[in-house]
Amino acid sequence: MKACKAVSTSTCTREVDQVTHVFHILNYSKHRGMGNDATSYIRSRIFSVGGHDWAIRFYPDGYGKGTQDYISVYLMLFKESTNVMASCDLRLVNQITGLSSSVHKTEPRIFSSHDSTAFAPRFSSFKKRSEIENSVYLKDDRMTIECVVTVIQEPHLTETRSFPKIDVPPSDMVDQVGRLLDEKEGFDVSFSVGGETVEAHRFVLAMRSPVFKAELYGAMREAARTGQSITIEDMQPAVFRALLHFIYTDSVPAKDLDTEMIRLLLVAADRYAMERLKLVCQSILCQGLNADTVATTLALADQHSCGKLKDACFEFIEMSDAMDTVVASQGFQDLMLTCPSLVMEAWEKRRKFRKA
């Protein structure tokens, strides 16, 4: 029996730090006439975003040649000696409604205090003065600028997570009773399964399954003692024979390791309270999880109280990069109809994982 293959995963994310700084300019008209050279500005207080200092520069008469009819506004990386990846959104506030609207938005880029890239925007007239002075942006000689600064931090790698692996304890039954089934001697109970007769030893079945024990030494005792066949409903002969094989050998036949047979065998193990076989089936199904099978396996695990397999399915969905295939699978469509709460639980776990 193959063990569940080990898989690990890690996630690279970039954290962001965003701050909105509000700069109120009172007595706007008294700031006019300063000129439009590099020193003709007023500045906001310094504010911190992402561990770096920033400030807003306001040029009431524009900045540079040909800007005398404009107001210029800049975001400046202040007194830093490093490169910072950030974006900014310069906005004007409506003095009547209190709402702001964007005037200039800078996409993420590198700010460096060593050169002109310390400013954003690097070349901008911001807004024509007449558009501000005759608008809702200026009232009672007051103007308000909002600057939304978003600093994008260095990439962060999450801790490596290992994909679930379900360990199976070593067998302790093969040497004791494995030969009894092959030798076909001493059978004292027979079963009718799908029209076929299957024989076995009562004491072996009772030893391995509390359900068989209750039936063969309880309600069905007389039928077993008189040689009558006990009918097994809702089970294929091949599944019942694989169940007996495990009872006698503590192993699953190699020919029965396909996914559909293991699913049916898990149902049989649950029916007869054979916890080790149930765990073996979970381990094999865990190993075979893929985008096409995970939804069907999740439904089976939930129906038969297979907690470890259910958790494995959730973790597979959390880490999957093939969600389109998962959602398109028939198993997922059936799961949405029969157990939508499981689908919601899977989405919620995936959302939290992606957010982490």
Question: What is the distance between the alpha carbons of residues 69 and 40, in angstroms, rounded to a whole number?
Answer: 15
Whether 139 and 200 map to the same domain: the answer is no
Whether 151 and 186 map to the same domain: the answer is no
Whether 21 and 93 map to the same domain: the answer is yes
**Domain span at 218:** 174-355
The domain boundary, picked from 97, 129, 157, lies at 157
| Residue 141 DSSP class | T
- Cα-based distances in Å from 218 to 197, 199, 213, 215, 315: 21, 19, 8, 5, 43
∠70-88-158 over CA atoms, to 5°? Answer: 175
Whether 134 and 59 map to the same domain: the answer is yes
Q: Is the sign of the CA dihedral 282, 284, 286, 290 positive or negative?
A: negative
Whether 98 and 181 map to the same domain: the answer is no
Res 245: pLDDT: 94
The domain boundary, picked from 157, 184, 205, lies at 157
Whether 219 and 145 map to the same domain: the answer is no
Whether 229 and 90 map to the same domain: the answer is no
Whether 217 and 261 map to the same domain: the answer is yes
In a domain, 244, yes or no: yes
The residue behind tokens 């040497």 is 175
Per-residue pLDDT of the chain (356 residues; tens, 9 = 90+): 455 567 777 777 778 899 999 999 999 999 988 888 888 899 999 999 988 999 999 999 888 888 888 888 999 888 767 789 999 999 999 999 999 999 989 899 888 877 778 888 865 567 888 888 889 999 999 999 999 999 998 877 777 777 778 888 876 657 667 788 888 888 989 999 999 999 999 999 999 999 999 999 887 776 666 668 899 999 999 999 999 999 999 899 888 899 999 999 999 999 999 999 999 999 999 999 988 888 889 889 989 999 899 889 888 888 777 677 777 777 777 777 777 777 777 767 666 666 65
The domain boundary, picked from 157, 192, 220, lies at 157
- The CATH number for 281's domain is 3.30.710.10
Closest CA to 180 of 149, 146, 205, 210: 205
Q: Quote the longest CA-to-CA distance of the chain.
A: 115
Whether 152 and 259 map to the same domain: the answer is no
Whether 322 and 351 map to the same domain: the answer is yes
In a domain, 7, yes or no: no
Res 33: pLDDT: 85
Res 331: pLDDT: 73
In a domain, 164, yes or no: no
Radius of gyration in angstroms for the set of CA atoms belonging to the chain, rounded to a whole number: 36
Backbone φ and ψ of 11, nearest 5° = -130, 135
- The CATH number for 144's domain is 2.60.210.10
Assign residue 215 a region (left: φ > 0; alpha: ψ between -120 and 50; beta: otherwise): alpha
Question: What is the distance between the alpha carbons of residues 283 and 59, in angstroms, rounded to a whole number?
Answer: 69
Res 134: pLDDT: 86
Whether 111 and 241 map to the same domain: the answer is no
In a domain, 6, yes or no: no
Res 226: pLDDT: 66
In a domain, 189, yes or no: yes
* Total count of domains within the chain: 2
Whether 139 and 180 map to the same domain: the answer is no
Report yes or no: 23 and 144 within 8 Å, Cβ to Cβ. yes
In a domain, 348, yes or no: yes
Report yes or no: 161 and 9 within 8 Å, Cβ to Cβ. yes
In a domain, 319, yes or no: yes
In a domain, 3, yes or no: no
